[in-house]
Structure 1
Amino acid sequence: MFNKFREGFRKIIDKIRYKEIDLKTFEELKDELLLFLVENDVSYEVAEDIISRIRSKLLHVKYDRSLEAIDILKDSLKEYIIDLMSISAQRDYFADLSSRGSPPYSVLFIGFNGVGKTTTIAKLAYLHKNRGDRVLLACSDTYRAGAIEQLIEHGERLGIPVFKYEYGADPAAVGYDALKYAETKKYDVVLIDTAGRMHVDVNLMEELRKINRVINPTIKILVLDALAGNDVYYQSKMFMEKVGFDGVIFTKIDADVKGGALITVSHLYRKPIYFLGVGQRYEDLVKFDINYLVNTLIGD
C-alpha cells in the first residue's frame, strides 16, 4: 500500500542523507520534491503549499545541528499531513451520524461511475448491521442497467432489505418514500444509492441536486476511487459545488495507489475521510487511521 510514494520519497531523502539541513540544501532539492509530489497524485496547488511550509519552517525554526536533513524533511512532511488531516483523525462516521438528530438516519452516496459506490454501500451496511442497527438499502439509481439487481444481490447476501421501484422511476421519490417507509418500520438507517455521474452529464447532476433537496440526507458521502489520481481534484470540486458533501470514502486503496489523492482532497475541503476500501470482502472497509497513513507513506 502506497509503495510508489514511499519508495519515491526514500530516493529523494537518500540524496541528502548525512547532511545538515539549511536553505541551500532545501533549494537544491525543492524542484525534485515538487515533481515527486505531483507525480504521486498530489495536486500542484497542494504540492506548492507543502514546499512553502517546509521552506518557512527552515527559515523560522532553529534545529539541533546534530539532526540530519533527512530527519527534518521527514518530520516536516509528517507534521504537514497530520495537521492537514487532523479532522479525519478527530471525526467518526457513527458519531457524526448520531449527533445529527434521531433515527432513521439517511446517508446519501454520491460519486462518479465506476468508483465502487454500490459495493461501498454494502460494506457500510455490513458495519451497521454488526453494530446492531436495523438497516434499509434504497436504490435511487433507476437508470443504470443492473443497478437495482446489484443492490438486491448485496441485500440478500447481507440479510438486509432493499427499497426499490421500477427502472425509470423518479430517483428522488424512491429516496423520499424509502425514508417514510423506514420511519414506519422503525429502521435505524437508510443507505441510499444514486446513479454515477460523469463530468459532462448536466442532467444527472441536476437530478442529484433534486434528490438532495427532497431527501435532505443526514450525511452525504462522496465515494472516490484512489486510482483516479489527480482526477479526484476535479471530481470533489464538482460535487462540492453542486450538492456538497460531509465526508469521503476512498475505494481501491489495496491496489497500487500512490496516495497523494488523499492529501489533495483533505487540503481542498478539510472534510473527514471516514473509511478506506481495502479489498473486495464486506469486511474490507476500514476506519481511516492518520498515523498508519503517515507512517506508510513516509516511513518511520
Structure 2
Amino acid sequence: MFESLKKKFSRTSDKLEEELIEEAQEENNLEEESGKKFSFFSFGRKDKKEEEDSKSDVAKIPQEVESIQETDTSDDETSDDKDEKSGFWSFGKKSSDNKEDPQEEESAEEIQEEEESAEEIQEEEEPKKSHFWSRNKEEDTEESEDADEKTEEKKSRFWSRNKDNDSSEENDEDEEPSGMFSFITAKTISEKHLEDILWELEMGLLEGDVAMEVASAVVDSVKDDLVGRKIKRSNDITEYTYNALRNAVAEIIDIPGKSMTEMIEAKKAQGEPLVVMFVGINGTGKTTTIGKLANYYLKKGYTPVIAAADTFRAGAIEQVNYHADKVGVKLIKHQKGSDPAAVAFDAVEHAKAQGKELVLIDTAGRMQTNTNLMDEMKKIKRVAKPDLVVFVGDALTGNDATQQASKFNEAIDLDGVILTKADADSKGGASLSIGYVIKKPILFLGMGQGYDDIKEYDADWMLNQLFSESGEEVNINEA
C-alpha cells in the first residue's frame, strides 16, 4: 500500500542528506566514519523492536548473575586457565610469559567483570569471539608490534559497533552498504537547505492525489520540525527527517471520533438500534460495503437489518438482496419506484420491534451535482433520523474522493467516511486527505473482495503502512 508516498518520503530524506554533505565537502567539514548508513524505513522497525529488546535485556540479567556466582566458586581453577580467559582482553599488553609481573595478577572482582562481559559477547558476537580466541593463542607463542596494532584497531571497531547497537544480524539487514559520514563541526539545518527539498515534497504529494491543504500542512510541519536541528552524522539526517515526516502525517490522519462499535453499545444500553445511512456516488462499492458491515457485526454478536432504500436504479434491490442473503441478515424492501424514505422508516421500526441493534440504510448512488437526488437524500435523513451518515468513497479515485466527500458534507453533514479498495491504493492521497479536509473520521477501510475484507480504521496502523518498506504491510486480521 501507498508505495508512491513512501518513495516521496524517502526521497526527501535522501535529498536533504545530499544537500548537507555537498555543503560540508565544500567547507572541508566532512569525514568518513566507521559504521554503516541506515535506510529511511529502518528507524520505524527499530522503534517497534525497542520494547522487545529491553525485555530481552532484562531476561539476560539472571543469567549474568548466575555466571558471576559460578566464577566466585571456581577457586580451584588453574592460573593457566585464568590467563587464557584474561587473554581475551589483554591485546596489546605484555606476553603471558611474564606471569610474575604483579600487573598481570587479577583480582576476583576483575575476573567477574570479564566473565560477565565475555558472556554478553558470546551471545551477540560468537563468530567474533572465536576469532579473538584464535588470535590470543597465536600471541601466546609469538607477538609482534604489527600484530598488536592490528588487534587494537579491530578491538576499537568492535566496541564502536557495540555502542551503535549494530552487532545483530537483524540490524545489519536494515543498513545500507555505503559508509557513514560525520561532520567535524556539527551542521545546523536552515531554511536555505530545505527550500528546494520541501518544494519537491509538496509537488510530489500533489502528484500523489493529496489535497492541497494537506500537502501544505505536511510541508509546514516538516519545516518547523527540521529547521534549527544540529546534525553530527549522516544517520542523524535520516532519523530526523523520518521523525519529522512521521509526526506531520500522524497529525493529519488522526481525526478524533467514536467507533461504530462504541456507538452500537451506547445505543444498545438505551434500548435503541444504531441507524446508519450510507451515501456516495455510483460505483464506489457502497452496497458491497453494507454487506461487509452486516457480516462484520453479525460475527461480533449483533443482529443487523438492511434497508433497500435505493428504489430508483434498475437491479439495485436485487443487488442488495443478494448480499443480505449471502451474509444471512434481514432485508426490508419495497417495490421499485417506491418512496426511499418509507423503506428506511420501516427498517428502523422493524429493528426496534425485533430488538435488533443495527440498521444499515442503502441509498441510491448519486453525483454530488444532482440537486434532485441530493434533496431526496435529505428527505431520507429527516424521516429515518440516522445516528450516522457515512460517505463511501473509492480510494483509487484519489483527490476526486476528497472533493466528493466535501460536497456531500456541505449538503447533508457527514459523520464519517469509509474508503473502499484501500488495499490497491498505491498513491494514498485519499487516505491521507479525506478525513483532514472534511474534519470527520475514517471509520472503515475496504481491503479486498470478500465479506471479511474490511477493517476498522486505526490511525496507528495507517501510520505504520505509510512508513514501512515495500512488502511489509500488516495483515488486516493482525491489528
What's the TM-score once normalised by structure 1's chain length? 0.92
> Offset of 1:72 from its aligned partner?
2.1
Distance 2:419 2:354 in 1: 32
Structure 2 counterpart of 1:36, from 204, 221, 230: 204
| Counterpart for residue 76 of structure 2 | none
8 Å contact 1:6–1:296 — kept in the other structure?
Answer: no
2:443 corresponds to: 274
Residue 81 of structure 1: aligned partner: 249
Instruction: Give the counterpart letter for 1:93 in structure 2.
Output: M
Distance 1:243 1:65 in 2: 54
Superposition deviation, residue 251 in structure 1: 0.3
How far apart, in 1, do the equivalents of 2:16 and 2:462 lie? Answer: 24
Q: Which residue of 264, 287, 295 corresponds with 1:97?
A: 264
> CA contact under 8 A between 1:97 and 1:219: conserved in structure 2?
no
Alignment of 1:254-269 (within 5 A): 254-269=423-438
Contact 2:312 2:364 in 1 (8 A): yes
Partner of 1:216: 385
C-alpha contact (below 8 Å) 2:420/2:446 kept by paired residues: yes
Moved more, 1-10 or 98-107: 98-107
8 Å CA contact retained: 1:113, 1:196: yes
- Pairwise CA distance, 1:108: 0.6
Superposition pairs of residues 120-131 of structure 1, within 5 angstroms: 120-131=289-300
List per-residue Cα deviations over 1:28-66 (Å, max 9, x = no partner). Answer: 20111011110111111221122122222334x645644
- Give the unaligned 5+ runs of structure 1: none
Alpha-carbon separation, structure 2, partners of 1:212 and 1:158: 26
* Mapping of residues 42-53 of structure 1, within 5 Å: 42-53=210-221
Give the length in aligned residue pairs. Answer: 298
Larger radius of gyration: 2
| SS of the residue 1:118 aligns to | helix
Aligned to 2:327: 158
CA-atom RMSD in angstroms: 1.9
State, as a whole percentage, how many aligned pairs show the same letter. 38
Give the aligned partner of residue 236 of structure 2. 68
State how far apart, in whole Å, the 2-side matches of 1:177 and 1:162 are: 11
> Residues 1-300 of structure 1 correspond to what in structure 2 (within 5 A)?
1-17=1-17, 19=20, 21-59=189-227, 62-63=229-230, 65-66=232-233, 68-87=236-255, 91-100=258-267, 101-299=270-468
Contact in 1 for aligned 2:226/2:241 (Cα 8 Å): no
- Name the structure where helix makes up a greater proportion of residues: 2
Highest RCO, 1 vs 2 (Cα 8 Å, sep ≥ 6): 1
Query: After the TM superposition, which segments of 4 or more aligned residues of structure 1 sit over 6 Å from their partners?
Result: none
Q: Is the 8 A contact 1:275 1:286 kept in 2?
A: yes
Q: Give secondary structure in 2 for the equivalent of 1:99.
A: helix
Gaps of 5+ in 2: 21-186, 470-479
Offset, 1:6? 1.3
Q: Which amino acid aligns with 1:241?
A: E
In 1, distance between residues paired with 2:217 and 2:251? 13
